[in-house]
Amino acid sequence: MGTDTVSSSRPEGRSPGSSWRVYWELCRPFTLLAPFIGFISFALVGLSGAVDRTGWDVALRIGWGALSAALLNAASNIINQYFDLEIDRINKPARPLPSGRIAIPAALIFCGILYVFSFAAAFAVGWQFFWIVLFTAVVTYAYSGPPFRTKRSWWLANVTIAIPRGCLLVVAGWTAVRDMWELEPWVLGGVFGVFILGAASTKDFADMKGDEAGGCRTLPVRFGVDWGARIISPFFVVPFLLLFFAAYGGWLTGSRWLLMALAVGLMAWGVYVAWLILRRPAELATEANHVSWKHMYLMMLAGQVGIAAAYWLG
């Protein structure tokens, strides 16, 4: 899978990958916001209670870490597109690889460069973050690549997305200024891990045809559109209920009332998204990017920034 090139749809007079815009599109830039902003947000959360809160070295560690997180996400996006080439020819034929706008060797070389720069930037932050980045690289490869290819399993797929992009992103930001073995980042990471565990499936509904043809029994393929919608809907609300109780119970050192207010706001937002999903479940499978997918990313960004604000304004 993913080893042959496509030439029939390549624009005449233009070599594959001749434009930087194609490489930028290959990275799927919208998805890079969450790791970049998330790392900065949770570095600021850790910094709010750190002994050393000033200095260029702190700012540089946070900057290098955010860059590393974004580059790693871009590299994993390319790995996913490489191993999903046959699936994308069905689901997303306009993407750079299936459309032939970039050659496979060029895409893989670019991917390798992104990994190298991500690892180098992670090393500049510190050993704890460096090991998190290496572990994340392995897990995100396992999602798409052989022999693991966890995306063939409806539950393993979501677990291998939720661990690095939900839980470990929080801990990674914290490591820029504090020790990763403190309890607090894992509590916050658990909130976002649970959110991604269910919400990540919003992207799978429109891809059912190609996923099924490619042997990937994603959640909607396994349970159908209606039941799949019912399964993922609570994940837009429950994680922020956990955030509310974590703040109320004193598990978090940020402003209790600001964190609780943020949790209530995110729960209300989640109820609205769940309503969008459940009112017409069939639209999830017919729209290329259902509005709930965008809401998922915006909720994650709002949660990241909101939590950082609750730690600094409280």
If you average pLDDT over every residue of the chain, what do you get? 92
Mean pLDDT of 158-183: 97
Polymer length of the chain: 314
pLDDT at 289 over 90: no
- DSSP 3-state assignment of 40? helix
The pLDDT value given to residue 9: 41
Q: Residue 52 above 90 pLDDT?
A: no
Q: What is the pLDDT of residues 10-42, one digit of tens each?
A: 444 444 445 899 999 999 999 999 999 999 999
For the chain, the maximum distance between any two Cα atoms, rounded to a whole number of angstroms, is: 64
CA dihedral 243, 70, 79, 199 (to 10 degrees): 20
Q: Mean pLDDT throughout 121-140? A: 98
Under CATH, which number does the domain 20-313 receive? 1.10.357.140
Cβ atoms within 10 Å, residue 34: 25
State residue 285's pLDDT score. 85
Residues 72 and 70: their CA atoms lie apart, in Å, by: 5
**More confident of the two residues 33 and 51:** 33
Q: Is the pTM of this model over 0.85?
A: yes
> Does the structure show a pLDDT above 80 at 51?
no
Average pLDDT over residues 77-101: 96
pLDDT of residue 5: 39
Domain boundaries, the chain: 20-313
**What was the pLDDT predicted at 154?**
95
Q: In 279-299, which positions are buried (b, 16+ CB within 10 angstroms) versus exposed (e)?
A: eebebbbeeeebebbebbeeb
pLDDT tens per residue, range 174-204: 999 999 999 999 999 999 999 999 999 999 9
Between the alpha carbon of residue 190 and those of residues 55, 96, 111, 195, 238, the distances in Å are 30, 35, 29, 9, 12
pLDDT at 141: 98
Average pLDDT on 215-231 reads: 96
Residues of the chain above pLDDT 70, percent: 92
Q: Region 273-295: what's the mean pLDDT?
A: 88
CA 219/CA 64 separation, integer angstroms: 36
66-84 pLDDT per residue, tens: 999 999 999 999 999 999 9
125: left (phi over 0), alpha (psi -120 to 50) or beta: alpha
In this structure, are residues 57 and 50 in contact, taking their beta carbons and an 8 Å threshold?
Answer: no
